[in-house]
Amino acid sequence: MAYLNANIPTTYAQIRREYLYDLKKHHGEVEDCIIFGLTSLGGRAILFHAIMGNGAIFYRLPISAFIQTGFRPESVPTRRLDELELWNCFSYYPTVTHWSILSAASGYYFGKDKKKHHGRYLFTVDWGHPDVNMLDTDHSEIPQEHKCAHIIALDDGNFAAQPNNRCIWDLPSFTVKNNIPDWKVQTNEWNVEDSGKWKTQDTDNFFYEIEEKK
C-alpha cells in the first residue's frame, strides 16, 4: 500500500489550462498531458499528477481539471468537482487496482443531478491503514463507511470518480438483468476467530485437533 502518492495507469488527456494558472486566466483553453499518478490526502479530493508536452510536471490537480484526449473543450460540459467525485480520500494510504473483469466494461453512474452518466472503466482507488497504531479516523476500515473510487472516462469527455453504490457496469455476456438492486449497506465485521466457541489442541502435533468449547 502506497503512502501519499501512487502510480496509476498512464492516461493521455487534456488539461484545462486555467488550472495551471490558479483558475485566474486561460479559461476555455487546453493542452495535451499524460496523467501518471495521484496524491491521497485524508479529507481531500483525489489529486492527480500530469506531465505536459514541454516536459513540465504539475502536481495535485482535481479530476475536474482534465478532459479526455480527442474532445474539443467547448463540447465538454463543465461540471463541478463534487458532481464528478462523490467522496474525499479516506486516508493517506491509497491502493490503485486495475480490475481485469472491468477492463473492457462500460457503464454509468447515478449523479447528484439524478441522471445517468455513461462512460468506460479505467481503474479503481481504495484506501486503508497499514499500521494498527494509527486510528482509522477517516472510516476506511469501518464496513458501513468504506467506499472505493472507480475512475471513469465519461462519454461527455470528462472523467469521474465514483463508488460502487453509484455505478452499474455492463458485461454483455453476463449482466443481462435490468434492475437496480435493493441491497442494504454491509455493517458486519467478519471475523473467524471471535466466536469464543472453539480452541486448538494443546500439543505440538502438526495436524492438531480442533475442539468445541463447553
**Per-residue pLDDT tens over the stretch 99-138:** 999 998 999 999 999 999 999 999 999 998 887 777 655 5
Is residue 186, in this structure, part of any structural domain at all? no
Backbone angles phi, psi at 120, to 5 degrees: -125, 150
Residue 203 lies in a domain: no
CA distance 17 to 21: 7
Within-domain flag for 61: yes
Judge whether 20 and 58 are in contact, CB under 8 Å.
yes
168 belongs to a structural domain: yes
For the chain, give the percent of residues with pLDDT over 70: 98
Instruction: Report how many domains make up the chain.
Output: 1
Does the CA dihedral 46-57-153-155 come out positive or negative? positive
Sequence-distant (≥ 6) Cβ neighbours of residue 59 within 8 angstroms: 39, 47, 49
Residue range 29-50, pLDDT digits in tens: 999 999 999 999 999 999 999 9
Specify the pLDDT at position 146.
85
Residue 121's pLDDT is 98
Grid cell of 111 as nine digits: 449523479
Instruction: Note whether residue 165 is domain-resident.
Output: yes
Listed in sequence order, the residues at least 6 apart from 167 whose beta carbon sits closer than 8 Å to its beta carbon are: 107, 108, 109, 150, 152
Instruction: Say what the pLDDT of residue 131 is.
Output: 77
Question: By residue range, what is the domain housing residue 76?
Answer: 5-176
CA 20 to chain centre: 24
Question: pTM of this prediction?
Answer: 0.92
